[in-house]
A and B are shown apart, each in its own frame.
Chain A
């Protein structure tokens, strides 16, 4: 089996994740895209492990990454809940409390 196959799959998955992060509005979908990217990394780890190292190091790291992803999603969802509680929505591009304030006022006037 050519090594290039899992690698290319990982590349494409990663870029789909990037697209999702940049293009989606709902914060929860952003988190899903993060998961996709993390999985692309995992795929790389496993593929390289199978290719040359062969002592399960890559697999171990992949397990670690999965654990990390679990922690990340837990915290991320907590933040999402907080956002929803404070703003009443979970739109990433509507949460602009750190924006230049004049711009914000102008935008509010426009809407």
Chain B
């Protein structure tokens, strides 16, 4: 009963967000202020809200994805429904706060609430060790970024003498202050959006429920970073150094993440790395510093929300039905296309999602990626180094994306002719691999509650590509298509031969995690041990000594309590004598 109420509330809230977006569509930008107070003597802090095109776009994305996730979760989540639904709703509300706020502190509040919600939701299956560890990791790494974010707010707000977002970027400001402030904000964005070097939390957040992954990856958590830069774009454009840093970070991240995705052997992990990579493409578009670049990045954000949400929901169905999203397990169900036939809707929608991700012409991802490339080309034409770097990186990433999409699609749903039923390349990954063929007939597509959001998002993954008006640059389209085709063909030929070469360095994801372990976790562990030892052996010693001294003193004092009247009397007389002597000494 409570669970039902929560579910109704959750879906209702999401629909409310969609409704708000619909109502605000086309309305003139406006700002509202709701109460406030002076901070010190210079700063006016108030709860200010604003609505403009960006807000409407984000509200629409958040609302639709959140509605899909909430509906899907009705069929997906079986335990702790109330807390789950409440947290998803809070998560959505926090993102809405971020989107509509016109005050940096209000934005920070939403930003931090999202961090907490992601921690709690990733740890939804807290019985599992990896879920707990992943949640903790996500929380700590985003917190690390948030420290920079907070100080960035201070620097920028003091620099501009205002914390209102709509007034930022208009006043005069020292160039150094601007650079420092934006760099600090960028640290927060990097943490939240899982860019290099704070990228490791996102793949480890995969033990969370799949709908939550869809929400985090498509609409809320990681998208908040992109949104923030788009919101403060006029500030960031002024700080050329920051944009260069952002470009470098984005290019490194997209290649890094795409290469990691090429070697991952679990559906959700591949998708997680692809999210990191796609977000980096958005940041690359933003780092160009042009209007086109921003537009392309937001376009990419929109389409990415649709197809990445879709892919995670599909992965959720696989997890739900098979019990695992690892390639090696999924491959056991491929005999005579069993998984394709039994999970027909999932297969079709997942194919659409992967096609959109890979940038197959006609699908949404194709158009949005091309618009980024086009914006980069506009810059590169003028001899901009950043433009060239972005252009080349996005093109290479396109090929890599196509590679891992095709690889995943083929290995999960198709039986390799070359292997003739053997599990093949993934044999070493699972001790259960030599088990008999499982009964594929039990696979079901799931209820319509789960399928309807997937179908809706699949339509989005195709149709959203045409919302921005189709303006194709034929040369660029041709180049990216050829690159994608090359990547896809490479994956196909490898699959056809039943081989899946995975370089060790990629499988270990460049050893970043062990390095962080050695660099940060181990020293912090030492520090913690030191602190514990300090607490137990130094501070605790004082505490214990106090207690022991009290006990000893009382043991001494109770010896005085003999019950012998004469002893008491003697003490009294001695005391009186002593007092008399004292009085004499003082008096003389």
Are A92 and B565 interface neighbours, CB within 8 A?
A: yes
Interface membership of B441, Cβ < 8 A: no
Partner of A103, one of B562, B567, B569, B570: B562
Are B573 and A103 interface neighbours, CB within 8 A?
A: no
Bound CA span A93–B568, Å: 11
Interface membership of B559, Cβ < 8 A: yes
Given contact pairs A18-B573, A22-B573, A100 touches B566 in the complex (Cβ within 8 A):
no
For A18, list chain B residues within 8 Å (CB): 573
| Closest beta carbon of chain B to A103's beta carbon, Å | 7
Are B563 and A104 interface neighbours, CB within 8 A?
A: yes
Bound CA span A28–B558, Å: 29
Are A103 and B566 interface neighbours, CB within 8 A?
A: no
| Closest beta carbon of chain B to A106's beta carbon, Å | 11
Are A100 and B564 interface neighbours, CB within 8 A?
A: no
| Closest beta carbon of chain A to B483's beta carbon, Å | 91
Bound CA span A102–B559, Å: 10
Are B564 and A103 interface neighbours, CB within 8 A?
A: no
| Total A residues in contact with B, Cβ cutoff 8 Å | 14
Bound CA span A100–B561, Å: 6
Are B561 and A92 interface neighbours, CB within 8 A?
A: no
Scan residues 90-110 of chain A and give those whose CB is less than 8 A from a CB of chain B: 92-93, 95-100, 102-104
Are B563 and A22 interface neighbours, CB within 8 A?
A: no
Scan residues 365-414 of chain B and give those whose CB is less than 8 A from a CB of chain A: none
Question: Which residue of chain B lies nearest to A94 when distances are taken between CB atoms in the complex?
Answer: B564
For B573, list chain A residues within 8 Å (CB): 18, 22
Are B563 and A98 interface neighbours, CB within 8 A?
A: yes
| Closest beta carbon of chain A to B311's beta carbon, Å | 76
Interface membership of A38, Cβ < 8 A: no
For B565, list chain A residues within 8 Å (CB): 92-93, 95
Which interface class (under 10, 10 to 19, 20 to 34, 35 or more) fits B?
A: 10 to 19
Are A99 and B570 interface neighbours, CB within 8 A?
A: no
| Closest beta carbon of chain A to B561's beta carbon, Å | 5
Scan residues 42-94 of chain A and give those whose CB is less than 8 A from a CB of chain B: 92-93
Are B566 and A96 interface neighbours, CB within 8 A?
A: no
Given contact pairs A18-B573, A22-B573, A99 touches B566 in the complex (Cβ within 8 A):
no
Partner of B559, one of A93, A95, A97, A103: A103
Question: Which residue of chain A lies nearest to B567 when distances are taken between CB atoms in the complex?
Answer: A93
Are B563 and A99 interface neighbours, CB within 8 A?
A: yes
Bound CA span A102–B555, Å: 11
Are B561 and A22 interface neighbours, CB within 8 A?
A: no
Question: Which residue of chain B lies nearest to A102 when distances are taken between CB atoms in the complex?
Answer: B558
Are A92 and B563 interface neighbours, CB within 8 A?
A: no
Given contact pairs A103-B558, A103-B559, A96 touches B564 in the complex (Cβ within 8 A):
yes
Interface membership of A40, Cβ < 8 A: no
Are A99 and B569 interface neighbours, CB within 8 A?
A: no
| Closest beta carbon of chain B to A80's beta carbon, Å | 13
Are A100 and B563 interface neighbours, CB within 8 A?
A: yes
Interface membership of A21, Cβ < 8 A: yes
Bound CA span A100–B563, Å: 7
Given contacts A21-B569, A99-B564, 14 further A-B contacts (CB under 8 A): A92-B566, A93-B565, A95-B563, A95-B565, A96-B563, A97-B563, A99-B561, A99-B562, A99-B563, A100-B558, A100-B559, A102-B558, A103-B561, A103-B563
Binding site for B on A (CB under 8 A): 18, 21-22, 92-93, 95-100, 102-104
Binding site for A on B (CB under 8 A): 558-559, 561-567, 569-570, 573
